[in-house]
Chains A and B, each alone.
Chain A
């Protein structure tokens, strides 16, 4: 399977615990995005990486959230001291941005299956 994968698919935790999610993008993709989707809503942008560099963070990403992409391949999203309001589906997407002018090659984002977090 050469698509975007996420691990775990489901996570149940108690309030106050730390959780970490992993996303493995399509191997040649240099862009990686994290989105959060709460029940009945569309996904909302959290942050994105170009290779290993984190280039933008949404104001939704409080200081309890941290994301890394240390080698420009897989990425992790950690939530510290989880709160019930963190319960959501966390989606990862990847795309390929390239060319000498930096123009997107199609710019299609490919999504992973998501990690559903439930904070009790």
Chain B
């Protein structure tokens, strides 16, 4: 079982819909990242959080440390939001290396 599990693996939505992508992890973490990857490979960091909730534009990320669960929400989705969304964690016990363990990603397609 992977340390980081994302659901769903694939998600298709209509423009304007509210999107939720979930991430569950099995280890104690010091930080969780949400990343966006467009076709072609480049990865952009959306959020880094260790507690609570963060908001940036139409994107909202929440984390529940006790339940080892995080969600990424997209409000008023748009076709340009189509991408792979990846959850990554920095687990306790990695010392000072801060390396990330990644989920497999969620492929989001937003149709006009």
**Given A45-B99, A48-B99, A56-B97, CB of A111 within 8 Å of CB of B45:** yes
Within 8 A of A (CB), among B83-102: 86, 88, 90, 96-102
**Given A56-B97, A107-B90, CB of A91 within 8 Å of CB of B103:** no
The closest CB in chain A to the CB of B84 belongs to: A42
> CA–CA, A14 to B24, complex, Å?
39
> CA–CA, A111 to B45, complex, Å?
8
The closest CB in chain A to the CB of B4 belongs to: A42
Q: How many residues of A contact B (CB 8 A)?
A: 30
Do residues A95 and B98 form an inter-chain contact, with CB atoms below 8 A? yes
Within 8 Å of chain A (Cβ to Cβ): is B42?
Answer: yes
Interface residues on chain B, size class: 20 to 34
Pick the residue among A33, A41, A116 that contacts B99 (CB under 8 A).
A33
Pick the residue among A42, A48, A111 that contacts B105 (CB under 8 A).
A42
User: Chain B 22-61 against A: per-residue CB contact (8 Å), 1 yes, 0 no?
Assistant: 0000000001010100001111110010000000000000
Do residues A31 and B98 form an inter-chain contact, with CB atoms below 8 A? yes
**Given A40-B104, A42-B104, A42-B105, CB of A104 within 8 Å of CB of B42:** no
Residues of B within 8 A of A104 (CB): 98
Main secondary structure of the interface of B (DSSP, over half): strand
Residues of B within 8 A of A42 (CB): 4, 86, 88, 102-105
Do residues B45 and A109 form an inter-chain contact, with CB atoms below 8 A? yes
- 7 intermolecular pairs with C-beta atoms under 8 Å apart: A31-B98, A33-B99, A43-B100, A95-B98, A97-B96, A109-B98, A114-B43
Residues on B lying within 8 angstroms of A by beta carbon are 4, 31, 33, 35, 40-45, 48, 86, 88, 90, 96-105
Residues on A lying within 8 angstroms of B by beta carbon are 31, 33, 35, 37, 40-45, 48, 55-56, 89, 91, 93, 95, 97, 102, 104, 106-114, 116
